[in-house]
């Protein structure tokens, strides 16, 4: 999966669209291994711009073919950014 640095709301929408596409195609699955992690479902495309964003979220996804783990996180309240990145482990 492509990594994305999130610096703007548009970057976050791009990350959501990529993750949603990968989920829908069965290429990745949402993992809940990290106990402090809150579940945050990626909205469908038509809801993205109207979505009531959480102040902060951090989700982990596992790639079906490779077992690689990706973290999608962002701090949306202050706009300090986030990323969709490959990680070695669940590291919140």
Secondary structure of residue 7 in the 3-state scheme: coil
Domain that holds residue 56: 4-87
Predicted confidence (pLDDT) per residue in 23-81, tens digit: 989 999 988 644 445 555 665 544 455 556 667 778 889 999 999 999 988 887 776 78
- pLDDT computed for residue 38 by the predictor: 55
Write down the pLDDT at residue 13: 82
25 belongs to a structural domain: yes
Q: What is the pLDDT of residue 36?
A: 47
- 18, part of any domain: yes
Number of domains in the chain: 1
Indicate the pLDDT class of residue 86, thresholds 50, 70 and 90.
Answer: very high
pLDDT of 16 reads 85
pLDDT higher at 92 or 83: 83
Q: What is the 3-state secondary structure (H, E, C) of 13-46?
A: HHHHHHHHHHHHCCCEEEECCCCCCCCCCCCCHH
| 20 in a structural domain | yes
Contacts (Cβ under 8 Å, ≥6 apart) of 88: 69
pLDDT band for 22, please (50, 70, 90 cuts): very high
Q: Is 30 helix (H, G, I), strand (E, B) or coil?
A: strand
């Amino acid at each position: 999966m492509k990594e994305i640095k999130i610096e703007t709301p548009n970057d976050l929408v791009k990350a959501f669209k990529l993750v949603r596409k990968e989920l829908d195609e069965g290429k990745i699955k949402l993992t809940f291994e990290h106990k402090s992690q809150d579940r945050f479902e990626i909205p469908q495309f038509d809801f993205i711009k109207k979505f009531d964003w959480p102040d902060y979220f951090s989700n982990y996804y596992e790639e079906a073919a490779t077992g690689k783990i990706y973290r999608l996180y962002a701090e949306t309240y202050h706009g300090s950014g986030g990323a969709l990145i490959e990680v070695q482990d669940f590291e919140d």
